Chain A
Amino acid sequence: MKHISMTVNGDQHELLVDQGWTLLETLRDHLRLTGTKEGCSNGNCGACTVMINGRTANSCLVLAAEMDGNEITTVEGIASHGELNAVQQAFIKDGALQCGFCTPGFIVSATALLQRNPNPTEEEIRMRLAGNLCRCTGYDKIIMAVEDAAAMLRG
């Protein structure tokens, strides 16, 4: 076991983690933050996307033991004081989900994209979201929601 200290959604956690635990299972099974989903477990689907120090990552391919001193943002940390962020609001308004399993990963990736560029082209949105797979329906409403969220953020 290894002792780590990491910040998750602004809260500091002191944890004793097994060397083999992924960040994903640590978040879900030990911190009970089950918004982050486990899909493929090999970095293809993006359901487990979180931000590590502001950058998106597949938490299924990160060891918790690596995370000492890092800041993690999960989908639970995207809304602030109970108010959904622009991406979350736009996903609801545009109905940009069907079963919802991929949605937390999309919300985190899209939020990271808009933090970096509040006025992305459709092509950039599609590139940045390429690591998030939706198997229900398709991507048009998701792209539209990200464009709407970007418009909201620009005012």
Chain B
Amino acid sequence: MPSFEFAQPTSLEEALQLFAAPGEVRALVGGTDIVDQLKTGRRNADMVVDVKRIPELQRLESTDDGLHIGAARSCTDVGEFPAVRSTYRALADSALLIGSWQIQNRAGVGGNVCNAAPSGDTIPALLSHEARAVIASASGRREIALSDFFAGPGQTVLQKGEILVELILPSPPANSASSYLRFIPRNEMDIAVAGVGSFLQLDPANNTVKKARIALASVAPTPVRARAAEEALEGNVLTDDLIATAASAAVEAATPITDVRGSAEYRRELVRVLTGRTLGICRDRING
């Protein structure tokens, strides 16, 4: 392992001073990406800052303004949190299928976001719930839509000195549900060939779609929203035909590459299939 300084701050203020220091300062949550990246030289660090002992980054709370997920909370903590299991089910689906049990126990949802892999499993789920990212630096705070957070494979809009503090997911309205599915060649322990997170809100009076949010993983340089599919759904009566139309429209947002995990054509087909299935699961979950 290359050499680096190590710090374990216990307050956000102390951490932000460390991140403001010159050189490459990297946040450590579960280490399941960054430790391997440091070992293999895919990322470098002059200082590694373990952010798990900062109280704000361990927040996990459901309040009137939504669900607050501190950036250092593990996938296991988040996926098993009662409000997530009942109300933000795409997030539970995704947080509890990342890697292995060992990985879920260490890896943070915030870490998965900041690693910014196009395949990050929690990201479509968070995007489907319109998550917002609270970012802090020594000079202040800002809050942005998570859909504006990603800049490319492994790249985010975080500037020097900034860290992710928490994610905020607005409280979902009544008659809504979400779902995340990914395709891998086995049942566990793999990187998504494609992943889809969907959120649906229905009007129970006439079964029309009031709101739809669909996000895709592993089919573009960053996780992306499938806006044409959302538009195809909203305002229309939710039928199997409408789901099929939306599923086909979701493919428009996919700009996949061909690699060892699958061809571009195969990935586009997976987007269609998984979008249709997640919408069906949302419908079933709403209808209980």
List the interface of chain A (C-beta within 8 A of B). 2, 18-22, 41-44, 46, 49, 52, 55-58, 60-63, 65-66, 68, 109, 112-113, 126-128, 130-132
Given contacts A55-B76, A130-B187, are A62 and B106 in contact (CB under 8 A)? yes
Q: With A68-B8, A130-B189 given, can you name 19 additional A-B contacts, CB distance below 8 Å? A: A19-B3, A46-B102, A56-B105, A57-B102, A57-B105, A58-B100, A58-B106, A61-B32, A63-B28, A63-B48, A66-B28, A66-B31, A109-B101, A113-B101, A127-B101, A131-B103, A131-B188, A131-B189, A132-B100
B interface vs A, CB < 8 Å? 1-6, 8, 28, 30-32, 35-36, 39-40, 48, 50, 52, 76, 99-103, 105-106, 187-189
Offer 5 A-B interface pairs, CB within 8 angstroms, sorted by A: A19-B6, A55-B105, A61-B31, A63-B50, A126-B187
Chain A residues with CB below 8 A from B48, complex form: 19, 63
Least Cβ–Cβ distance between A99 and chain B, in angstroms: 21
Neighbouring A residues of B103 by C-beta, 8 Å: 43, 58, 131
A127 to B35, CA, bound (A): 24
The 4 closest A-B pairs by CB, nearest first: A131-B100, A130-B188, A20-B1, A19-B6
- Does B99 contact A43, Cβ atoms closer than 8 Å? yes
The answer to whether A66 touches B100 (Cβ under 8 A) is: no
Whether A56 contacts B31 by the Cβ 8 Å rule is no
Residue of B5, B39, B102, B106 touching A19 (CB-CB under 8 A): B5
User: Contact: A20 with B100, CB < 8 Å?
Assistant: no
**Assembly CA distance A131 to B98 (angstroms):** 11
Partner of B102 from A41, A68, A126, A131 at Cβ < 8 Å:
A131
> For residue B2, which residues in chain A have a CB less than 8 angstroms away from its CB?
20
Q: Which of A18, A46, A55 contacts B100 (CB 8 A)?
A: A46
Contact A65 B8 (CB under 8 A): yes
Choose from B28, B39, B50, B189 the contact partner of A41 (Cβ within 8 Å): B39
Q: Which residues of B contact A52 (CB under 8 A)?
A: 105-106
Distance (Å) between the CB of A25 and the closest chain B CB? 9
Interface residue from B3, B36, B188, B189 paired with A61 (Cβ < 8 Å)? B36
Q: Which residue of B lies closest to A18 (CB)?
A: B3
| Bound complex: CA A113 to CA B101 (Å) | 10
- Decide if A44 touches B189 in the complex (CB within 8 Å): yes
